[in-house]
Amino acid sequence: MSFWRWVALVVALVAASLLALAVGTVNIPLLEIWHALAGANHSMASIIVRNLRAPRVALAILVGAGLGMSGAALQGTMRNPLAEPYLLGVSGGAAVGAVLASAAGLSAALLPLAAFAGAIVAVIAAFAVAHAAGARGDPRVLLMAGVVVGAFANAGIMVVLANAEPNTVRNALWWMMGSVADGTWTQIAILFGYVVAGGAILVLLGRHIDVLALGEDTAAGLGLNVDASIRRIFLIASLIAAATVSAAGLVGFVGLVVPHLVRAAGVRRHRPLLVGSALTGATLVVLADLLARILRPPAELPLGAVTALIGVPFFLIKLRRLV
């Protein structure tokens, strides 16, 4: 991809972020956004930008970047264009954690922790299932194990919700639809750590993913320790996804569609693909959250629904070009 396309990706993210800071129930001019971010005054506009919109935009950027990179890494490693972070049982496990915490009456502040724990348990379970099946590094078996664990988790959620109080059901549902509305700066800082560290490792492993995408035997012939490499990439991609899910619930379709958009722009090797997916995913989620806020005020649409509404047409166009 040419230099100018990279510039365009960065400019798009900055523009989307500024737009999301400016537009809403109260529209704020760019100059005031600048003053607010500089922290100079205590006007109404400053408070809206600093306390309401900036954390939202920051969380949206991190969620989008994390899911985009996680999806790009998994699609290449599994050699499967349909692979995405949630297929590995991460989403189901996180949902179980959140629903259980909510049903047990734990405070909302503990929900992200419970979700993260649930996601990690699901990933470990998926690896254990694959290991028991005798194929520790076979991506197809890992994929199936993830689907099975996810299905089991969904069944668990339904059992818990069947007898739950309406409040618990509402909490769980809101969370499963995804939202970047209530992010605290602490949560954002933690997610930042996961996305930046995890993303950096994935970019370093980018050439391994290139080679894995050729098939396991060819990768082994090129000197890659295939099983260990697949496990490592799965684990990091799952950790990133689990961290995003625990901070913002389930934001569907980003991990699936973003890598395809970047590939359609002519990026083929995984190092640039991962970076491009981070930028594009961030832009997509920032815009989706903006739409979620402004389409039907004062109500907010679920973020996960909006990402799918934006993602599906893109995906269909891409599919049409493919056939």
Partner 1 sequence: MIRYDEVRIRYPRATRDAVAGVSFEAARGAITAVVGPNGSGKSTLIRALIGRMPVMAGRISIDGAPTASLRAEEIARRVAVVTQREELAFPLMVDEYVGLGRFPHLGMWHAAGERDRNAVDQSITAAGVDHLRDRRIDALSGGEWQRVRLARALAQGGDALVLDEPTAFLDVGHEMAVFELLHRVARDGHAVLLVSHQLNLVARFADHMVLLHRGSVAAAGTAADVMRVDVLSPVYEWPLVVTHDPAVGAPALVPLRQSQPRSP
Under the rule (CB under 8 A), what is the footprint of partner 1?
Answer: 75-76, 79-81, 134, 204-205, 207, 210-211, 213-218, 220-226, 263, 268-269
Minimum CB distance to partner 1 smaller for 16 or for 205: 205
Give least dist CB 58 to partner 1, A.
30
For residue 132 the two structure tokens come to 């028991």
Sorted by sequence, the CB contacts under 8 Å of residue 167 that are 6+ apart come out as none
- Closest CB 4 distance from partner 1, rounded Å: 20
Shorter beta-carbon distance to partner 1: residue 223 or 298:
223
Look up residue 175 and give its amino acid: W
**Identity of the residue, 50 or 263, whose beta carbon is nearer to partner 1 in the bound complex:** 263
Nearer Cβ to partner 1 (39/223): 223
Question: Closest distance between partner 1 and the C-beta of residue 205, in Å?
Answer: 8
Q: Which residues contact 91 (CB under 8 A, 6 or more apart)?
A: 85, 119, 150, 241, 245, 250
Q: Assess contact for 160 and 171: CB atoms under 8 A.
A: no
For residues 136-174, b (16+ Cβ closer than 10 Å) or e, as one string? Answer: ebbbebbbbbbeebbebbeebbeebbeebeeebbebbee
| Tokens encoding 272 | 């640039």
Task: Tell me the two tokens of residue 176.
Answer: 């499963």
Tell the smallest beta-carbon distance from residue 320 to partner 1 (Å). 17
Q: Strand, helix or coil at 215? A: coil
CB-nearer residue toward partner 1: 47 or 214: 214
What stretches of the chain adopt beta strand conformation (E)?
Answer: none
Amino acid at 99: V
> d(Cα 142, Cα 15) in Å, to the nearest integer?
39
Closest separation between CB of residue 73 and partner 1, Å? Answer: 13
Cα 241 from Cα 217, distance rounded (Å): 28
Q: Which is nearer to partner 1, 2 or 217 (CB)?
A: 217
CA pair distance 96, 104, nearest whole angstrom:
12
- Considering the complex, what minimum distance in angstroms separates the CB of residue 224 from partner 1? 7
Q: How far is the CB of 208 from partner 1 (least distance, A)?
A: 8
**Cβ-based nearer residue to partner 1, 144 or 220:** 220
